[in-house]
Amino acid sequence: MRTSGAIEDTLLLLEHPHTYTLGKTADRTNLIGSEEYLEKNGISVFEIDRGGDITYHGPGQIVGYPIIDLNKWKPDTHLYLRNLEEVIIKVLAEYGIESGRKPEYTGVWVGESKIAAIGIRVSRWVTMHGFAFNINTDLELFNGIIPCGIKDKEVTSLSRLLKREINIDEVKQKLRDQFVLHFDYTTLKEIDIYQLVH
């Protein structure tokens, strides 16, 4: 629909039910949870067409799906990825948390722990998929996978770092504001928010 111009650029921000997704380059051996583990925790498994390996999505995690025509912004997938990371880095800074990138990996890191995973697909310069930002996420459910295929790193969340429950709608608003700033929009009118109800 974005390719045909039927919709404007859109940012979907939502929470998924418990899910593991494997990207196009995923190594299925990074799914280490047994069938019993998956059933016990109510986790579904899907193979999808984004880049990257395996990750977890679930309640308390903001998953962002930007649907953007890069021809109308900048037709540069590397710059697009860096900007997605920068949006999250700036939101974390608003909470007093210093974060950054690692040259060998995509995503956003706080020290040696990953707080946001990024996996995208671009077709005819229109973006699909996006990022998963751990807010109040149950990090125990990452134990059923090797997150992003990275064996020697941990995952973290905003609530773990701040040692309190976080208002997830507040984080969504901050993401919207940073998204408008970093992708050169003048208003929020193009950016809609949808949240799945569990």
148 a catalytic residue: yes
* DSSP secondary structure of 18-75: SEEEE-TT--GGGB---HHHHHHHT-EEEE-SSSSSEEEE-TTEEEEEEE-BGGGS--
- Decide: helix, strand or coil at residue 96: coil
What does residue 36 show for φ and ψ, rounded to 5 degrees?
Answer: -65, -40
184 vs 179: CA distance, rounded Å: 8
Number of H helices, E strands in the chain: 4, 10
For the record, the structure tokens of 151 come out as 């064996």
Could you say which of 84, 126, 148, 155 is catalytic? 148
111 vs 107: CA distance, rounded Å: 12
45 vs 41: CA distance, rounded Å: 12
Catalytic residue IDs: 148
